[in-house]
Structure 1
């Protein structure tokens, strides 16, 4: 993504987390240690939600695969589950992080029983969760909250460039402007977005990011259909986690789901058929 206009940040933190490159840019004001606090917030989310090394999430998945009740001892994981539950409802079931089952009938997210008071999760059938379509946005939400608590009022946070959050207005005033490149041709702009105190998520079935060896296929929960149509979803929301869930939901949506979720303003879906001009679905 390209940013219009430049001003030097008063602090920058770059590191790897959530399986991608993270950049945190602070512009003026706030606790001098604010960026370090934001980095720790992101790394804490990574530690809680990763399924690629021992974590609270892998312990939960081990229990659920074995048909046992999972006791959630990490408050971040429990909070993530609660937020995903809200996202599952908001997307009419099109965002579903369960893996290894078809999310219909007795399977999928709706089969989980989350007891927020007892901090437990159970399921009648073996199941596991993958937080890949949620974690980066959630991590940016936690980092943004840490920055605000530290007195920072202007910042740009990026996780792999497909997940972005901004605090306040641009340091030069007004909105932060981003040009979203066409995944088929980085020299072309898919759409331009303006943000103030908001988050942005981009999901696509085409482009270099889809070729990562550990990237799972995007599957429609209701029927298990693997999504191969060339599409890109661009979503802006107050919450990075919700933006991630909505962009994933738009990618896997059937026609009826697109009608419900796509609004052409903050929730956009593009048809990226090879050789065709950029076309927003439902236009």
Structure 2
């Protein structure tokens, strides 16, 4: 079975366990597939199960978990915990549930590690550029300057002892989980399927963040093809994923064009403008939450700073494609396989962690 995704092509070999001679064998497992709309994306799951009934139960549990996460973290739903924080934390410390507190701690941690390249407070700026509803507009510098006073991850204060969150700037801010929330939902599905003793599954969120549990029967991993953003239909690299995640951020589909200029949907929180001369970042990391956040941060940070960041992250690798479709530049950082490109590629292997 071949599935084409937005940022990667996932190839799944549908094989069964082969019975040995005279020995008791595990129950044969078949490959099942299902799709669910949530969090403004399409979540899909491929998993091996002994029968349809078991597969349906695992799928239902997984998609119910995605819906629960959306109710908790959506910035489109006024009733969500994240929306309540956005409304109230500017006037007083807000006590929140342990799960949401841990989620915010992780988000703020990535902001700190990336020197603000990743920032969950950029929602108002995204809206000003018209990216939330695919309208596309160019805001004035005065408008952006006014919005800057309502953004900035350093304005988020987390008190672990009281489990509260407050905004230091004293005004309402919008917390936007778009850069990390789908990765978190994938991790929650993975934890649930582990509890169900699922041995092989591939979870995809919006075709940009995936996690591989185990491997298909008879295989060493789930083969993942990374698309080349500068060459339509061409594969940049193929990797085998086992018990790890892969995320990709790209400007190949979500953008708008005004006066002949192309504006990418990924913004630099420091300049409040769309990133220029970047095409795609792909990250392999043990956690889907982390790989999701890292692709956004590295899109803003660029290659040299990204390489320094990854030195502190074991079992993490990245491919960065910068420049333009007509003149791309490729950078591989701790990437497990050579890149398939006609262009010169700088390979960085063996970067050690502290």
Q: Does 1:79 find its partner at 2:102? A: yes
User: What SS class does the counterpart of residue 327 from structure 2 fall into?
Assistant: coil
CA apart distance, 1:133: 0.4
Q: Does 1:276 find its partner at 2:300? A: no
Closer/same/farther in 2, CA of residues 104 and 92 from structure 1, 3 Å limit = farther
CA apart distance, 1:216: 8.7
Closer/same/farther in 2, CA of residues 62 and 193 from structure 1, 3 Å limit = same
Quick one: which of 115, 119, 123 aligns to 2:159? Answer: 115
Question: How far apart in 2 are the matches of 1:113 and 1:177?
Answer: 41
CA distances 1:212-251 after superposition (whole Å, capped 9, x unpaired): xxx9942223443431223200001110000011110110
Closer/same/farther in 2, CA of residues 29 and 186 from structure 1, 3 Å limit = farther
Structure 2: which 5+ runs fail to align? 1-7, 16-29, 126-144, 257-262, 333-344, 347-354
CA distances 1:142-171 after superposition (whole Å, capped 9, x unpaired): 000000001112101011111111101233
Question: How far apart in 2 are the matches of 1:262 and 1:225?
Answer: 25
- Tell me the matched-pair count: 276
Judge which range, 151-160 or 92-101, deviates more: 92-101
Question: How far apart in 2 are the matches of 1:233 and 1:221?
Answer: 17
User: What SS class does the counterpart of residue 297 from structure 2 fall into?
Assistant: helix
Question: How far apart in 1 are the matches of 2:40 and 2:83?
Answer: 16
Give structure 1 regions of 4+ aligned residues with deviation exceeding 4 angstroms. Answer: 100-107
Please name the residue that 2:139 is paired with: none
RMSD of aligned alpha carbons: 2.9
Q: Does 1:95 find its partner at 2:118? A: yes
Closer/same/farther in 2, CA of residues 272 and 7 from structure 1, 3 Å limit = farther
Structure with bigger gyration radius: 2
User: What SS class does the counterpart of residue 233 from structure 2 fall into?
Assistant: strand
Whether contact under 8 Å (1:94, 1:222) holds in the other structure is yes
Question: How far apart in 1 are the matches of 2:165 and 2:186?
Answer: 25
Question: How far apart in 1 are the matches of 2:301 and 2:108?
Answer: 18
CA distances 1:93-151 after superposition (whole Å, capped 9, x unpaired): 32211124889999621221112332210012122211000011100000000000011
Whether contact under 8 Å (1:29, 1:152) holds in the other structure is no
CA apart distance, 1:276: 2.7
Please name the residue that 2:34 is paired with: 13
Residue pairs, 1:221-236, within 5 angstroms? 221-236=269-284
Please name the residue that 2:181 is paired with: 135
CA distances 1:169-211 after superposition (whole Å, capped 9, x unpaired): 233320211111123444111322221101110001x212445
Q: TM-score w.r.t. structure 2 length?
A: 0.69
Quick one: which of 241, 244, 248 aligns to 1:202? Answer: 248
Q: TM-score w.r.t. structure 1 length?
A: 0.85
Whether contact under 8 Å (1:111, 1:123) holds in the other structure is yes
Structure 1: which 5+ runs fail to align? none
Quick one: which of 46, 65, 70 aligns to 2:70? Answer: 46
